[in-house]
Structure 1
Amino acid sequence: MADDDDTSAGLTAESTGLPARRRASRSAGPPVEPVTTSPAEPTDPVDAPASATVATAVKEAGAGAPEPDAGESTSAAPEPVAEDADEAPDARAGSRRALVGWILTLVLVVALVAAAVALLIQRNNAAQRDEQRNAFVQTARQTVLNLTTIKPDTAKEDVDRILAGASGEFKSEFDGREDPFVGVVKQAGVTTVGKILESGFESQDGNTAKVLVAARADVSTPDGTQNGPRDFRMRVTVTDDGGTMTASKVEFVP
């Protein structure tokens, strides 16, 4: 009854200056834990406009960007670096250039070898041709020298030497006339000593060639009336019979 006594005595909270006591009331159910909140951080009045400006710019930039499709995953694998994509074509191009260079080098080597072989063959053919032509000329010179060198004491040997290097038409001219010719030379006592003045290759047809020969024969007779040099020009046809050179024809050229 204290409350009634206090009220009736005229003592109230306002008159006494003490805080009024409140009657505690509790709702039904388990007790609720008090929620503790941290005091809000003070906002710097200077930075507020800048933050609002940045937020507005970010929002506007986001609004302009295309939204991702629903089917696409935001965690897609990153695209390959452009440098790797460029390195592969460069590597292939480098391989092709190396292959082309190798092929060109091989072709050049083959061409050089072929040219060297062709040059060697040509040189060998030229050497063989020159050697054969020289043999033709030497055979013609020896034939004319044998014809212009005859002595009475060695007439038989001289004629045999002429026939040893003769063939074809030229050899047939001595058939059956060898002995009479030797007899005439011995009887006349005429001596001739030949000397080759000049010779030259004229033409060739297969294994046969024609050679021009200029010769001089010094003639001596027993009475001396026919002494003196005699000049001759002859065209000798030489035949190569398996490497054996013989005079097949002799003609006097004016």
Structure 2
Amino acid sequence: MARDARLDAERAARADLRDAVDELWSAEIEAGRRRPSRLVRVFSAVALFAVLLAVAVVAVWSRADDTYTDDDYLEAATARVSVLLSPDHRRPDQARRILDGATGEFRDEFAQSADSYTTFVRSQGTIGRGVVDGAGVAARAGDSAAVLVAATVEFTDATTPADAVAETVVRRFRLRVLVSPDDGQLKLAAVQYLP
């Protein structure tokens, strides 16, 4: 049930409760069974308190869906993409770092090729430094968000002799990543390179 529908239902229930309490009070007074007494006022106050408590619970519950802010998604996407785009043959744990920041389909796919990734980076002597130039939340659905990321990666050939200047190659990437929660952390659930 959508949040607006839940709030509308809660408002209608609150109005029905007020009307029922008023009708009960009026009927008892007309029947001569009660005079507007302190007990009726207390009952009305308790009923009003119960309704207000119910409204507060619904409000807190409906906000639970919005646990993460756009800034949370941007921060997670920036951190995870920076790791993804920073291969380094000197870090044998790089594939593990990428997997630790992944979930869902992306994690499953990368896990199948993690050993090949490590072997390739080591054999090429690759050192890359990925820097996110900009990112923006494109869409949100539930507790996940699609984030567009522009990044620059500087690749350095580590096999260059010590007395020579290492050549640096710069590549620019545009990505669409899906960021989703897993074990209380926002992680990459999908990565798509954009032309």
Q: Which TM-score band applies after superposition, normalised by the shorter structure?
A: 0.5 to 0.7
Is 1:227 the counterpart of 2:162 in the alignment?
no
Task: Give the equivalent residue in structure 2 for 1:150.
Answer: 87
1:163 to 96, 99, 117: 99
Instruction: State the secondary structure of the residue aligned to 1:150.
Output: coil
For residues 113 and 40 of structure 2, the distance between their equivalents in structure 1, rounded to whole angstroms, comes to 73
Structure ID, larger Rg: 1
The alignment's TM-score, normalised by the length of structure 2, stands at 0.58
- Say if 1:152 and 1:191, in contact at 8 Å, map to a contact too: no
Q: Count residues in correspondence.
A: 155
Q: How has the CA–CA distance of structure 1 residues 145 and 116 changed in structure 2, closer, same or farther, with 3 Å as cutoff?
A: farther
From the two aligned structures, give the one with the greater strand fraction: 2
Q: Deviations over 1:4-35 (max 9, x none)?
A: xxxxxxxxxxxxxxxxxxxxxxxxxxxxxxxx
Is the CA contact 1:149–1:217 (under 8 Å) kept in the aligned structure 2? Answer: no
Unmatched 5+ stretches in structure 2: 1-28, 158-165
1:191 is displaced (CA, Å) by 1.3
Q: Distance in 1 between matches of 2:144 and 2:38?
A: 51
Q: Distance in 2 between matches of 1:203 and 1:193?
A: 25
CA spacing shift, 1:124–1:196, aligned 2, 3 Å: farther
The answer to whether the Cα contact below 8 Å between 1:215 and 1:232 also exists between their aligned partners in 2 is yes
TM-aligned CA deviation for residue 224 of structure 1: 3.4
Relative contact order (C-alpha < 8 Å, sep 6+): which is higher? 2
Q: Give the unaligned 5+ runs of structure 1.
A: 1-92
Q: For 1:111-147, what per-residue CA distance to the aligned partner results, in whole angstroms no more than 9, with x for missing partners? A: 5313431342134225533325679725444432321
Question: Aligned partners of 1:190, 1:184: CA distance in 2, in Å?
Answer: 12
Report the TM-score, using the length of structure 1 for normalisation.
Answer: 0.47
